[in-house]
């Protein structure tokens, strides 16, 4: 294991990644494979390490948001298909082709620009259909027909897939999900009437593939649930699947002191001790992505909940302890300690956001330690 000087780290349980993939896979029909989504450095878990484990667990391809992220994976030696989900400038089609990276496209002008490039190798593309997400993708049958027409004369492009993305697959109300699915089927029908060469088809994110495994096509694009988190409260409550969170966050007490009543703690004196109190200091702060808005949130020491008191500083926070603890005592900010736990969802609720944002928020200043 690498050596870290600081006393704060995120622990990534790669065994949990494998376990989660197996749970999802067990529900999928035989013909649906898994694309492991490792954008944003594997949702803050480490894209290379997660990709490695995901492929070992049976995923067949990888997806990222940026071309940069795809290069990180190619440089790490992965040979499997890699799909870039976001828009990439057409001028980079050649370098994507040379590295066998599949790009997403949906614009006629984009395609026409690629046709003019001097390219040694065709670039593989998946066409994105906007069936209701309103983000990227073609929306009409006319657009679809125009693009397919243009593709026939484009010697720099190989169309290898078509896909869409759901906006509400994680909602309680699934009306719009079903509408999007229906729209996808309509576009697919038009597509198949015109295009006879084989392509792969994929629609589902974590929520859709957990809830409607039988509706999935050649692939699912598995993100959040591979990391052991539920895409939303409704999906969590359905309990159709048991997942294990892979990410936990820890630190250690670097200072412990007894403070008399009436003393202030941290910037701005927002906390004043009510009685004689044990105050601990831990080396994590908003400079690590541990938001200032987490003042008042609890952390675990010796399996018990202790509140963060006073302002969160850039590199340190103070917590109120129930007794004296030895320097070096482990503090868990996210995860389990003894019989207690603080879930990612609890932090997300406190910050009025979704669990996806939390591991992305804990930045690269916090080293990731991997365990099997």
Q: Which residues are annotated as a binding site for substrate?
A: 135, 314
From the CB of 163, what's the least distance to ligand PLP, in Å? Answer: 8
Helix, strand, coil percentages (3-state) for the chain, rounded to 5, are: 35, 25, 40
User: Closest CB to ligand PLP among 25 and 250?
Assistant: 25
From the CB of 123, what's the least distance to ligand PLP, in Å? Answer: 19
From the CB of 53, what's the least distance to ligand PLP, in Å? Answer: 16
Q: Is residue 222 within the footprint of ligand PLP (CB under 6 A)?
A: yes
From the CB of 85, what's the least distance to ligand PLP, in Å? Answer: 4
Marked catalytic residue, from 18, 19, 25, 39: 39
User: Closest CB to ligand PLP among 188 and 360?
Assistant: 360
From the CB of 65, what's the least distance to ligand PLP, in Å? Answer: 7
Q: Is residue 224 within the footprint of ligand PLP (CB under 6 A)?
A: yes
Range in contact with ligand PLP (rule: CB under 6 A) among 114-122, 151-159, 221-229, 346-354 = 221-229
User: Closest CB to ligand PLP among 69 and 298?
Assistant: 69
Select the residue interacting with ligand PLP from 46, 223, 283, 359 (CB under 6 A): 223
CB-closest chain residue to ligand PLP: 223
Marked catalytic residue, from 182, 189, 267, 371: 267
Contacts of 193 (CB under 8 A, 6+ apart): none
Q: Which of residues 28-57 bind ligand PLP (CB under 6 A)?
A: 37, 39
CA 12 – CA 158 distance, rounded (Å): 37
User: Closest CB to ligand PLP among 222 and 333?
Assistant: 222
Q: Is residue 25 within the footprint of ligand PLP (CB under 6 A)?
A: no
Q: Is residue 82 within the footprint of ligand PLP (CB under 6 A)?
A: no
Q: Is residue 85 within the footprint of ligand PLP (CB under 6 A)?
A: yes
Range in contact with ligand PLP (rule: CB under 6 A) among 202-210, 283-291, 301-309, 319-327 = 202-210
**Pair 370, 46: CB distance under 8 Å:** yes
3-state secondary structure of 289: coil
3-state secondary structure of 27: helix
User: Closest CB to ligand PLP among 37 and 321?
Assistant: 37
**Pair 210, 27: CB distance under 8 Å:** yes
CA dihedral 260, 263, 264, 270 (to 10 degrees): 100
CA 250 – CA 248 distance, rounded (Å): 7
From the CB of 133, what's the least distance to ligand PLP, in Å? Answer: 8
Q: For residue 37, how many other CB atoms are within 10 A of its CB?
A: 28
Q: Is residue 90 within the footprint of ligand PLP (CB under 6 A)?
A: no
Select the residue interacting with ligand PLP from 53, 126, 165, 217 (CB under 6 A): 165
Query: What DSSP state is assigned to residue 297?
Result: -
DSSP secondary structure string for all residues of 137-175: SB-SHHHHHHHHHHHHT-TTEEEEEEEE--SSTTSS--H
Active site residue 338: no
Which residues are part of a known binding site?
Answer: 135, 314
Contacts of 40 (CB under 8 A, 6+ apart): 65, 69, 360
Q: Is residue 221 within the footprint of ligand PLP (CB under 6 A)?
A: yes
Select the residue interacting with ligand PLP from 23, 49, 205, 251 (CB under 6 A): 205
CA 360 – CA 357 distance, rounded (Å): 5
CA distances from 255 to 280, 281, 297, 325, 330 (A): 6, 5, 19, 9, 12
318: which strand partners? Answer: 281, 309
CA 331 – CA 337 distance, rounded (Å): 9
Q: Sort 188 into a burial class: Cβ within 10 Å, 0-12 / 13-18 / 19+.
A: middle
Active site residue 39: yes
Q: Which residues of the chain form contacts with ligand PLP (CB under 6 A)?
A: 37, 39, 85, 165, 205-207, 221-224, 231
- Residues belonging to the active site: 39, 267
């Amino acid at each position: 294991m690498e050596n870290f000087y600081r006393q704060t780290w995120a622990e990534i349980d790669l065994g949990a990644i494998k376990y989660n993939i197996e749970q999802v896979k067990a529900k999928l029909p035989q013909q649906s494979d898994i694309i492991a989504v490792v954008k944003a450095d594997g949702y803050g878990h480490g894209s290379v390490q997660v990709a490695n484990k995901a492929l070992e667990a049976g995923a067949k391809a990888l997806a990222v948001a940026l071309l940069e992220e795809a290069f990180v994976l190619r440089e790490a030696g992965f040979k499997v298909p890699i799909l870039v989900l976001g828009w990439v400038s057409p001028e980079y089609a050649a370098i994507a082709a040379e590295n066998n990276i599949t790009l997403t496209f949906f614009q006629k002008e984009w395609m026409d620009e690629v046709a003019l490039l001097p390219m040694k190798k065709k670039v593989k593309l998946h066409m994105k259909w906007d069936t209701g997400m309103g983000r990227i993708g073609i929306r009409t049958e006319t657009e679809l027909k125009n693009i397919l027409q243009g593709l026939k004369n484009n010697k720099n492009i190989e169309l290898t897939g078509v896909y869409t993305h759901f906006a509400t697959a994680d909602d309680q109300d699934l009306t719009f999900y079903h509408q999007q699915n229906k729209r996808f089927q309509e576009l697919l029908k038009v597509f198949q009437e015109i295009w006879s060469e084989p392509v792969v088809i994929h629609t589902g994110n974590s929520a859709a593939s957990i809830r409607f495994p039988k509706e999935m096509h050649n692939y699912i694009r598995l993100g959040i649930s591979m990391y052991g988190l539920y895409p939303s409260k409704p999906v969590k409550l359905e309990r159709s699947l048991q997942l294990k969170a892979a990410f936990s966050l820890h630190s250690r007490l670097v200072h412990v002191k007894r403070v008399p009543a009436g003393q202030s703690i941290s910037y701005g004196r927002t906390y004043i001790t009510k009685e004689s109190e044990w105050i601990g200091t831990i080396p994590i702060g908003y400079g690590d992505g541990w938001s200032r808005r987490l003042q008042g949130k609890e952390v675990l020491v010796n399996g018990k909940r202790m509140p963060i008191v006073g302002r969160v500083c850039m590199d340190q926070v103070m917590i109120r302890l129930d007794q004296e603890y030895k320097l070096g005592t482990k503090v868990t900010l996210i995860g389990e300690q003894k019989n207690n736990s603080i879930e990612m969802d609890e932090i997300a609720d406190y910050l009025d956001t979704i669990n996806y944002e939390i591991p992305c928020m804990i930045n690269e200043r916090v080293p990731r330690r991997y365990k099997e």
